[in-house]
Amino acid sequence: MKITTVIPAYKSQYLMELLASLAQQTEPPERIIFSDDSPDQSFTSMLTSEPLQSLIGHLNVTVLPGTRRGAYANWSQCINAWGGQTELVHILCDDDLIYPQFYARHRHAHMTGNFSSTVSRRWYANEAGQPVNKSLTLPEAVDLHPQRLLSLDANTLFVSTVGRAANWLGEVSNTVMRAEAANLIVQRQVDGISIAGLEDLAAFICGARERPLCYINEHLGCFRQNAGQNSAKGASAAMKCSIMGYLGLALIGLRRGLISEEHAHYCFELVGQNVLWHYRDEADTQAIRDTLPALIAGAPGADERYLQAWHDFVAAHGHY
């Protein structure tokens, strides 16, 4: 099975380490596509000039100009540029690193079954790319499972993520997807409900409705922590979307019968109170905050009122 790596590129200071992690793969990807959204097109100038051009010739690299319309547009361009030309696609963020057996293990996992996505464990890393003593908190049944490959259905995934209002799976950089999962990121909605801010998590768990997700219980990469990340900017539109997006996912899961009323209410309560407190002075969340008490209380029609406010917020801020 062939894999294409697509890189929504913006932070060029990590390019050499990124290329090194790709060059060291025991089974490299079929093709690598950069979408250069950097302000000065620095990825393009570096990748198309010597000596880098000769050094990466064997990696089959293509560089496209970015959209200059925000992170989501750049992600979408990457996926559309892949266009299903290989069976599998890996969206690799420019500041993350993958270990030498990343593609070999993900390819092997896909070949053992009919999966929508394969997700591997990963470490957190500091600015220098060194793993630190911090990782995602996995459900105990997964963390201590003796098998390396676990097949997980949509119900299990919704309950263990949205039902806990926590993402233990990670992001796109530690995932290799089939087209139906990757295309959910471009579509950015499921059942008419926006998944902005949690496009990756939504693709994993909603994509598993047709084909299960395979979890690879091995650390095959690291998530680099740095000041330029959205998670470091609590008041940013991207961070607000990533928090409030859980409420939309809970409604998707509830309407599809993938989580119970109790799990959905837990998510509404936990996330809703978080938004009401932390964004209490943020004018752009006022319309959403006005709907949350009724949503938390389970009042009739509260879900539709919340969704209208949520979609208005995404329309105004969802470009990131």
Phi and psi of 200, rounded to 5°?
-70, -50
Residue 6: both structure tokens together: 């697509």
pLDDT at 193 over 60: yes
pLDDT at 274 over 80: yes
At the topology level of CATH, where does 3-226 sit? Spore Coat Polysaccharide Biosynthesis Protein SpsA; Chain A (3.90.550)
pLDDT at 15 over 60: yes
What is the per-residue pLDDT for 230? 56
Average pLDDT across the chain, whole number: 94
Residue 271: both structure tokens together: 């996330």
- The arithmetic mean of pLDDT across residues 219-246, rounded, is 83
pLDDT at 163 over 70: yes
- On the CB side of 26, CA atoms within 13 Å amount to 11
pLDDT at 86 over 60: yes
User: How do the domains of the chain map onto residue ranges?
Assistant: 3-226, 232-318
Q: Residue 153: what residue type?
A: D
- The arithmetic mean of pLDDT across residues 5-22, rounded, is 94
- The arithmetic mean of pLDDT across residues 210-217, rounded, is 97
